[in-house]
Structure 1
Amino acid sequence: MTPHTVTSHRAAALVLAASLVAQLSLHGQNDTSSAAARQRMDEVFSLIDKNYVTAPDMNRMSDEAVKAMLKALDPHSVFIPAKDVQRANEALTGNFEGIGITFQINGDTIFVADVIDGGPSEKVGLHRGDRIIRIDGRPATGDSVTNNFVTSHLRGKKGTVVVVDVLRDGRELEFHIVRDKIPLHSVDTWFMAADGIGYIRLARFARTSVDEFRAAVRQLQRQGMTRLIFDLRGNTGGYLDIACALAGELLPRHRLIVYTEGRLAPRQDFRTRGSGSFREGDLIVLVDENSASASEIVSGAVQDWDRGLLIGRRTFGKGLVQRIFNLSDGSQVRLTTARYFTPSGRCIQKPYDKGTDDYNRDLSRRFASGELVSLDSIHLPDSLRYTTASGRTVYGGGGIMPDIFVPMDTMRLSDYYIAIRSKGLVNSFPLAWADKHRDDERLSDFEKFLAHYDSFPVDSLFAVHAAEQGIVRDTAAETSRRLQTERSDNYLHLILKAQIARNLFGTEYYYRIMCVIDDAYLKALEQLRGAS
């Protein structure tokens, strides 16, 4: 979405609905039909207000009416109630106000999963692995403990104090923590994947993303990086201007990145400017079916200008631009005002003419059709064919097709693995195991962890734990599917190892372990090594 805002006014629920209908009438209605629509809304609200059997909640009604109107337009025009606006914007603004930890709930216990560097909790001495037992004197254990409970009690206005009691090594400790602005990092991890080859994973396009990307590039270049794997898989997008700024880090100067155009929004071109941190050197961008919006802007520009290769699976297909309209009560409407087009002229928005519910089933249809596992299952019409700067054929109309297809590995998902994942054991067991071994000298840093991990009987202990939770392996069925069983067991072994590393050392170490069986990542390494 773009960062622009427009203010609308309402004096009451009735006026809100009527005024929004007036705004939405820009979606192709003439003045006469718009006036009739407003009058109809007025009449219905008035009838309900004067005649309904009980006193109606007009605010709730207006919220639901607005949601229904927007849903009738397209899947990405949405209404956000005032109470949810701050939370909805946190991932994009790149910060929130709180104490600076990430947490996990295991059973009825809150564990500190990570402590953000330089944040309020680190300053007072909170540690990864601490168990939170009280917040402001209120018990923080038991069945009532949920994610909402934790966030609502730990987050708060900058400068306010929260008292957190934790259990550490059998001792209770009390911390008085002054809340502050907490950065939400959008670069999950970066590291040297091989000699001369760097890897950066971007989770979202937030206000801080370009600075984070530049910092990661600088660190990698100091370690000898001349080629880059840029991972946008699972990145559902963010701000349009941030996508353009990040594309400018990769593309030569004055290149068209994307253009937007709508019925009442004249064409606007976005071009690279200034200097970029990685405009030379071999580049591969990893994408998948969950790479959307801003991710597709960057990957589409890289592909259209032949700046690098795209590896993975067809992207989500979101080619609509939303504009933020602030309403006077603090709520927001994010309204689609334009489509965006890649430099070759592609609009990659997938169809939504059958409604939002059908639109949301698209990924399920891709899986059922075999598209996620077989390139032969993908059929794109010639009418959607475009060419890149060097004359290569690319397609629009429903996501961006990568240059090299990598299928989803469904062999990893055995019945046993699906059962333990559904039960949450692949999260809860590693957390509990890491907590018991946090002070083990053999696991005191990541290098020691890699050297000693396999000496611990983690897999066998997990199998016993799963059986205690009622999940027993079907040995007869697994024998008949020996190859899948082996693949799935190997995957489970690495998942447990990676989750334990995450709990001991932080999120970035999860990816350092999982990359060894990441087919798209390995294909990118193969391509870049060949290029060298």
Structure 2
Amino acid sequence: MIMKKLSILLACLWAITAHAQNFGSPALQKLQMAEMAISRFYVDEVDEDKMVEEAIIKMLAQLDPHSTYSNAEEVKKMNEPLQGNFEGIGVQFQMVEDTLLVIQPVSNGPSEKVGILAGDRIVAVNDSTIAGVKMSTEDIMKRLRGPKDSKVNLTVIRRGVKDPLVFTVKRDKIPIYSLDASYMIQPGTGYIRINRFGATTAEEFKKAMKELQKQGMKDLILDLQGNGGGYLSAAQDLANEFLDQNELIVYTEGRTAPRNETLANGKGEFRNGRLVVLVDEYTASASEIVSGAIQDWDRGVIVGRRSFGKGLVQRPVPLQDGSMIRLTVARYYTPTGRSIQKPYNSETDYNKDLIDRFNHGELMNADSIHFPDSLKVQTKKLKRTVYGGGGIMPDYFVPIDTTLFTNYHRNLVAKGIVSKFTMKYIENHRKELTSEYKNFEDFNKKFNISNDMLSTLREMGDKEEVKFNEEQYQKSLPLIKTQLKALIARDLWDINEYFRVMNTTNESVQKALEILNSGEYKAKLK
């Protein structure tokens, strides 16, 4: 009997082997045979989908840190910020004590059209109560978002109105912008901050640049601090705005991907003014393409700290169930042939690279950064020395500012006390603030954080068991005041005004202004 069963098993395995031989390489046949054998003969039931997903994840882990697998839901979430829109009700919100507080309705969006206001608290979505029930932000988002033109009933509590209000909102496409801020930071100098490289980035940039040029912009500070990248095409389009015709922006090359060059078309609209680009240790990928092209062609000055170091090109491989593999197919190279990709021999070392940079003192002192001679190259026009093999090294190093950051301040932020204080202050004083300050310029000039406000903040910290430390408090006080004022400005106006306040203490922004206002810019580019 045992021999008979064994014969049947061997016959089945032979059939599987024969079937697998019709498909692909010996390695692929081996993989197919293993999966088929497990699913047909393993002693217990197996979840084939999960097993295959785990196999894919394990295979990709053998390659590089940026070749990844995402399930269908993750793909949708991942694509939304880059595609430039999602479908929902159109509000900026923050969770305050288990209640959704509307910071601002999106201008001309679905919620604004039906009369939802900044300061409203959304307590129910259709028949589901979302206030005071410890519901996760993700679950709330699922209830608020939905297909375009679908309707949702929102129950709102409004300050000064006795009974709850019910609004029926027709969902629509809600834009996600790439630009955080765009304004004249000083006469003749514009400032533009880009947070990601998405489908609409180049279009947004051109619109902002033209508006600033109307206001007299001659020089530009382009802020890419914290910009983790995005679409390669968006980076190419942005770099094109600064370079002359036929100047190489970037080229890509891989084992099966032949060299592919992107050249500037000469139609960019900021090819002559002075340009300063801000980068830091979180500036990556598409941001490094732009920074690298500008540095290699001596088109502008790079200011900040060494960028992240991601120079790999991923190709999306959609799978039939909506999941996707992002597979590294090539490396990109700057015009001088620099590979910006940092080493990834060890995944552990790769992931803790930024921690190592901090521990080695690199973020505080440029002298701690050492490049081998083999990584030195000359820029295209002025023959300045620049470096490859691990991010963009700025022309002017700005150390990370550790003087204002203390454990007391970090705990206030980590426990959400700074945000909660701002929300409550706005809620209690919105009418008088909007009445007294008709525009941001007036607010920025006259509004100050009072001692009473700071006392309330400290009391809120005490209640949340953030132990008060006088020395640390005094050390962080300038930063605390700036953050509070910036957050209030954001809630009264928008994220643009937040950065207008915060940039007054941003060391890299201030260094950029110093360079433009002195002879340093010309001295570096000659």
TM-score w.r.t. the length of structure 1 is 0.89
User: Do the aligned residues in 1 keep the contact of 2:318 with 2:325 (CA within 8 Å)?
Assistant: yes
1:459 equivalent to 2:447? Answer: no
Aligned-residue offset at 1:422? 2.1
Map of 1:474-513 to 2, 5 A cutoff?
A: 474-475=469-470, 478=471, 486-513=474-501
Work out which of the residue numbers 508, 512, 526 in structure 2 matches 1:524.
512
User: Do the aligned residues in 2 keep the contact of 1:247 with 1:301 (CA within 8 Å)?
Assistant: yes
Question: What is the aligned partner in structure 1 of residue 134 from structure 2?
Answer: 144
Q: How many residues align?
A: 494
Aligned-residue offset at 1:352? 0.5
User: Do the aligned residues in 2 keep the contact of 1:205 with 1:238 (CA within 8 Å)?
Assistant: yes
Question: What is the aligned partner in structure 2 of residue 346 from structure 1?
Answer: 338
Question: What is the aligned partner in structure 2 of residue 4 from structure 1?
Answer: none
Gaps of 5+ in 1: 1-17, 23-30, 479-483
Aligned-residue offset at 1:101? 1.3
Question: What is the aligned partner in structure 1 of residue 425 from structure 2?
Answer: 433
Work out which of the residue numbers 40, 47, 62 in structure 2 matches 1:72.
62
Q: Which amino acid in structure 1 is aligned with residue 508 of structure 2?
A: A
Per-residue deviation, residues 58-102 of structure 1 (Å, max 9, x unmatched)? 112211211111121111111111122221101111111111112
Cα 1:364–1:455, aligned 2, differ >3 Å: closer, same or farther?
A: closer
1:48 equivalent to 2:38? Answer: yes
Question: What is the aligned partner in structure 2 of residue 159 from structure 1?
Answer: 149
1:226 & 1:111 partners in 2: Cα distance?
41
2:268 & 2:106 partners in 1: Cα distance?
28
1:177 & 1:524 partners in 2: Cα distance?
45
Question: What is the aligned partner in structure 1 of residue 6 from structure 2?
Answer: none
Q: Which amino acid in structure 2 is aligned with residue 365 of structure 1?
A: D
Q: 2:119 is paired with a residue of what secondary structure?
A: coil
Map of 1:302-451 to 2, 5 A cutoff?
A: 302-355=294-347, 357-389=348-380, 390-440=382-432, 441-443=435-437, 445-450=439-444, 451=446
Aligned-residue offset at 1:274? 5.0
User: Do the aligned residues in 2 keep the contact of 1:233 with 1:288 (CA within 8 Å)?
Assistant: yes
Map of 1:2-401 to 2, 5 A cutoff?
A: 35-171=25-161, 172-355=164-347, 357-389=348-380, 390-401=382-393
Per-residue deviation, residues 405-452 of structure 1 (Å, max 9, x unmatched)? 000011222121122122121222212221221111335542343313
2:133 & 2:54 partners in 1: Cα distance?
32
Aligned-residue offset at 1:48? 2.9
CA RMSD of aligned residues (A): 1.9
Q: 2:155 is paired with a residue of what secondary structure?
A: strand
Q: Which amino acid in structure 2 is aligned with residue 385 of structure 1?
A: K
Q: 1:270 is paired with a residue of what secondary structure?
A: strand
TM-score w.r.t. the length of structure 2 is 0.90
Question: What is the aligned partner in structure 1 of residue 14 from structure 2?
Answer: none
Question: What is the aligned partner in structure 2 of residue 12 from structure 1?
Answer: none
1:43 & 1:361 partners in 2: Cα distance?
38
Per-residue deviation, residues 485-531 of structure 1 (Å, max 9, x unmatched)? 54422111111221122122221111111111111000000111125
Higher deviation after alignment, 391-400 or 374-383: 374-383
2:268 & 2:92 partners in 1: Cα distance?
32
User: Do the aligned residues in 2 keep the contact of 1:443 with 1:449 (CA within 8 Å)?
Assistant: yes
User: Do the aligned residues in 2 keep the contact of 1:412 with 1:491 (CA within 8 Å)?
Assistant: yes
1:500 & 1:385 partners in 2: Cα distance?
46
Sequence identity, in percent?
Answer: 46
Per-residue deviation, residues 236-260 of structure 1 (Å, max 9, x unmatched)? 0011111101101111222100000
Gaps of 5+ in 2: 1-16, 522-526
Q: Which amino acid in structure 2 is aligned with residue 101 of structure 1?
A: V
User: Do the aligned residues in 1 keep the contact of 2:458 with 2:468 (CA within 8 Å)?
Assistant: no
Question: What is the aligned partner in structure 1 of residue 13 from structure 2?
Answer: none
Q: Which amino acid in structure 1 is aligned with residue 236 of structure 2?
A: C
User: Do the aligned residues in 2 keep the contact of 1:442 with 1:452 (CA within 8 Å)?
Assistant: no
1:253 & 1:173 partners in 2: Cα distance?
58
User: Do the aligned residues in 2 keep the contact of 1:231 with 1:285 (CA within 8 Å)?
Assistant: yes
1:48 & 1:435 partners in 2: Cα distance?
60
Larger gyration radius, structure 1 or structure 2 = 2
User: Do the aligned residues in 2 keep the contact of 1:105 with 1:146 (CA within 8 Å)?
Assistant: no
